[in-house]
């Protein structure tokens, strides 16, 4: 019986260490974002982002304690293409990369605004060294 307890304790310890090492940053982690000179479409996207997204995703998409930074390699276009942003805004998205909970749909945001928001986020990403990388599982 004691061998079972030792093995169980070791397994729990290994699982805990793995979780701590592999877990994404804590929910209160925000990042520093370099803001480039924006295109006219991205300027419109910033306005729409500030009105609809910044409460959770932060100023300049740097993240908050309510939502992740979008200027992060997880959201590079090879892993989360533009259509993923559209789908998230339209239908919401279940929690999958970060411990913030599910993102609700944003029906008040028009398709045109979503497109300009994506352009804004992509320009921020490029200015911060985040570019297309093929996603491999």
Kindly report, residue by residue over 20-50, the tens digit of the pLDDT: 445 555 555 688 999 999 999 999 999 999 9
**pTM for the structure as a whole:** 0.78
CATH of 26-127, one of 2.60.260.20, 1.10.3720.10, 1.10.760.10, 3.30.43.10: 1.10.760.10
Q: Do 87 and 102 touch, CB atoms closer than 8 A?
A: no
Low-confidence ranges of the chain (pLDDT < 70): 1, 3-29
> Which is it for the CA torsion 64, 117, 80, 132, positive or negative?
negative
Q: Write down the domain spans for the chain.
A: 26-127
């Amino acid at each position: 019986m004691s061998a079972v307890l030792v093995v169980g304790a070791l397994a729990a310890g290994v699982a805990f260490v793995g979780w701590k090492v592999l877990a994404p940053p804590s929910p209160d982690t925000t990042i520093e974002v370099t803001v480039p000179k924006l295109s006219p479409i991205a300027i419109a996207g910033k306005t729409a982002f500030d009105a609809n997204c910044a409460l959770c995703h932060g100023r300049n998409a740097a993240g908050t304690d309510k939502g992740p930074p979008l200027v992060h390699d997880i959201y590079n276009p090879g892993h989360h293409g533009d259509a993923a942003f559209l789908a998230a805004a339209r239908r919401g998205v279940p929690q999958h990369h970060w411990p913030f909970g599910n993102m609700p749909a944003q029906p008040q945001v028009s398709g045109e605004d979503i497109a300009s928001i994506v352009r804004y986020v992509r320009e921020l990403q490029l200015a911060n060294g985040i570019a297309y990388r093929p996603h491999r599982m």
